[in-house]
Every structure is written in structure tokens, then in C-alpha cells.
């Protein structure tokens, strides 16, 4: 062991302490664990809950990210005050039964689903309880210091209705912003086009994507603020002249209950749909920590990975 390695020294010192005081056994109590050299709150919580299945909270980077999104915590995630709040929440949510499974689940969720840059919200078992998701502000959390200056992104979108009044939505690729979610067909707008040229350009994009001609009509402008971006979307009413081709698309009945369709708030604005139903409770229903089933259509569409459809421009 390297004599300069503080961690190695701490492990040796902790082992010596356990040998002297406890006959070589590691304590299971969080408070006692923290009296050992090199063991802080996180390690103590991890040992107590993961090794001994004791109801001890733990807060690593993954858990902090999940909680800050779940509760839309506005404070800087590195600030002591926010850390205290996160610890408190981690403790309040912890069930008395099976704390090990709960903590492991939360860490795994942060590592595999609630990922830093590309969270897989449509597949997340907590999405119905997630405030950041409900408010379409997943990218805002966790907060870190001063927010960067906002950048404006211009898009052209097509609000396509069929003869029955249904709205066309397409699914974003899984990776990237709003991965796996459904939006109106949209495209990064080229600069310096006249109004007439924009319509022609949009019709061309739609023809290339869906293999049909479109009538491009009235325009509406929608603005939506994300954490570091302001979206300015020119949304055109469009109607197809023929049957559409291409997968990863679906028609939505605007009068149906769409609460289970993963539509970000800005897409709802573009499509003229009401906002997502209100965030129901600031407290996570512990039942929600069990895996929720995706609806079969969504599961099927998520599985259609082989088809590439350009629905979200690269920022």
C-alpha cells in the first residue's frame, strides 16, 4: 500500500479501531461508523444500508440528481443548504422495510435512467411523481451555480392534422434532449428565408420524411424557455395530400386522454394541447418506486430502434 495514500491509511486505521474496540467486526450503526477514520456520511450510509440492510439514507451524485429532479429543487446542488435538504429527503423517503433494495434502486435509477445529460424519462418508473418531468424542466436540474446565458434556437414545426382531426407526432431518438418523447415534426430553421420560402422548405422536409406532399398553411409562433435555451418555434398548420410513410410516428386524438403520452410541454404548446396534468404530490408515493409498466404502444415504439427519423435538431 502506498504510504502517501490517505484512503489506504484510513482503511488501515479503521480496521485497527474495529479490531481494538469490536473484536474485528464493523459496526452497523451510522453514527458509530462515522467515528471510524475516513468514513463520512455517504460511506456510513452506504455501509449501513447496503451491507447491513439498515434504514440509513445515502446520497451520492446519482441520488442527488434523481432527488433534485423529482422535487425540482432550485438550490445549487453543491451548496451546503441544498445538500442538507437532499439528505433530509433521502431519509424521509427511505422505507423501514428493505432499505438496501431502496437505496440500490435509487442509485441504479440515477446511473441508468435518470442520467445526467440524457435522462430516459419515458422509461422511468418515477415519472408520474417527478416534478421536473411534469413541468418539462428536467434539463434545469440539478442546479449548479450560476446559470449560463440563454441561447435562442429557431425551429420550424408542422402541426399536421389528418381528415379526422388527429394530430401527427413523431418520436425523438432515445439519445439526446427529450429522448424517446413525442413531438410535432420539427426542423432547425435555415436563416434568412422569406415567409414563402419557409413554407416551401418545410413542405420539402415533410415530403422527404413522410413520402407525401403537404399543404402548408397558417403560421403561429410559440416561445418556450428551457434551462439554457429559448425555443422560438414557427408552427405551421399542415395537411397531407396522401398516406404517410415512415415509422416512429403516430396520430393523436386531441380530445382523448393523452396523459400517458410522453409529450414535452413545448410540444403540447406547438400542438395546441392542454398542459400536462398537474404534478400531483410533492411526496413520492413509495409504491411508485416499483417498476411502472409502459403502455404497449409506447413500449413497441421504443423498441423500433432500427428506423431513423430526424425529429430533433442537434444543439
Binding residues vs ligand SF4 (CB under 6 A): 66, 69-70, 113-114, 119, 121, 124, 126-127, 130, 132-133, 138
Residue 138 vs 189, nearer CB to ligand SF4? 138
Residue 162 vs 260, nearer CB to ligand SF4? 260
Residue 72 vs 156, nearer CB to ligand SF4? 72
Collapsed DSSP state (helix, strand, coil) of residue 168: strand
Residue with cell 406547438: 270
Starting at the earlier edge strand, list the strands of the sheet with 186-188. 186-188, 151-160, 229-240, 214-225
Which stretches of the chain are assigned E, i.e. beta strand? 151-160, 167-171, 182-183, 186-188, 214-225, 229-240, 249-252
Minimum separation from the CB atom of position 131 to ligand SF4 (A):
8
Helices 80-93 and 61-70 pack at an angle, to 10 degrees, of 80
Residue 18 vs 288, nearer CB to ligand SF4? 288
Give yes or no for a contact between 183 and 270, defined as CB atoms under 8 angstroms apart: yes
Torsion sign across C-alpha atoms 135, 139, 143, 148:
negative
Residue 93 vs 138, nearer CB to ligand SF4? 138
Residue 65 vs 249, nearer CB to ligand SF4? 65
Minimum separation from the CB atom of position 73 to ligand SF4 (A):
12
Phi, psi of 106, rounded to the nearest 5 degrees: -65, -40
Minimum separation from the CB atom of position 180 to ligand SF4 (A):
10
Peptide bond into 205 cis (omega under 30): no
Minimum separation from the CB atom of position 77 to ligand SF4 (A):
14
Tell me the CA distances in angstroms from 157 to 218, 250, 252, one per residue in order. 12, 16, 16
From the CB of residue 61, how many other CB atoms can be counted at a distance below 10 Å? 14
Give yes or no for a contact between 189 and 141, defined as CB atoms under 8 angstroms apart: no
Minimum separation from the CB atom of position 196 to ligand SF4 (A):
41
Minimum separation from the CB atom of position 71 to ligand SF4 (A):
10
Minimum separation from the CB atom of position 70 to ligand SF4 (A):
5
Residue 30 vs 124, nearer CB to ligand SF4? 124
The Cα 162–Cα 27 span in angstroms is 66
Residue 117 vs 303, nearer CB to ligand SF4? 117
Rg over alpha carbons for the chain, rounded to the nearest Å, is 25
Minimum separation from the CB atom of position 189 to ligand SF4 (A):
28
Taking alpha carbons only, the member of 315, 312, 298 closest to residue 123 is 298
- Give, as one character, the DSSP assignment of residue 200: H
Amino acid at each position: 500500500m502506498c504510504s502517501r495514500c490517505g484512503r489506504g491509511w484510513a482503511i488501515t486505521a479503521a480496521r485497527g479501531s474495529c479490531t481494538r474496540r469490536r473484536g474485528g467486526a464493523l459496526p452497523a450503526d451510522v453514527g458509530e461508523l462515522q467515528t471510524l477514520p475516513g468514513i463520512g456520511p455517504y460511506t456510513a450510509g452506504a455501509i449501513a444500508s447496503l451491507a447491513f440492510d439498515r434504514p440509513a439514507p445515502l446520497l451520492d451524485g446519482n441520488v442527488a440528481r434523481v432527488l433534485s429532479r423529482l422535487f425540482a429543487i432550485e438550490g445549487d446542488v453543491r451548496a451546503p443548504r441544498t445538500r442538507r435538504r437532499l439528505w433530509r429527503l433521502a431519509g424521509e423517503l427511505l422505507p423501514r422495510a428493505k432499505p438496501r433494495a431502496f437505496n440500490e434502486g435509487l442509485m441504479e435509477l440515477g446511473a441508468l435512467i435518470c442520467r445526467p445529460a440524457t435522462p430516459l424519462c419515458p422509461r422511468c418508473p418515477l415519472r408520474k411523481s417527478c416534478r421536473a418531468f411534469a413541468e418539462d424542466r428536467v434539463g434545469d436540474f440539478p442546479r449548479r451555480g450560476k446559470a449560463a446565458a440563454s441561447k435562442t434556437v429557431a425551429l420550424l414545426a408542422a402541426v399536421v392534422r389528418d381528415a379526422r382531426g388527429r394530430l401527427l407526432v413523431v418520436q425523438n431518438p432515445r439519445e439526446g434532449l427529450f429522448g424517446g418523447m413525442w413531438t410535432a415534426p420539427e426542423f432547425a430553421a435555415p436563416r434568412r428565408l422569406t415567409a414563402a420560402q419557409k413554407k416551401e422548405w418545410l413542405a420539402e422536409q415533410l415530403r422527404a420524411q413522410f413520402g407525401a406532399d403537404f399543404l402548408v398553411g397558417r403560421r403561429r409562433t410559440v416561445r418556450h424557455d428551457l434551462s439554457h435555451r429559448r425555443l422560438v418555434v414557427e408552427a405551421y398548420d399542415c395537411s397531407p395530400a396522401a398516406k404517410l410513410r415512415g415509422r416512429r410516428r403516430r396520430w393523436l386524438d386531441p380530445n382523448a386522454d393523452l396523459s400517458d403520452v410522453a409529450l414535452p410541454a413545448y410540444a403540447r404548446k406547438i400542438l395546441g394541447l392542454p398542459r400536462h396534468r398537474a404534478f400531483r404530490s410533492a411526496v413520492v408515493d413509495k409504491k411508485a418506486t416499483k417498476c411502472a409498466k409502459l403502455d404497449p404502444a409506447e413500449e413497441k415504439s421504443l423498441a423500433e430502434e432500427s428506423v431513423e427519423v430526424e425529429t430533433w435538431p442537434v444543439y
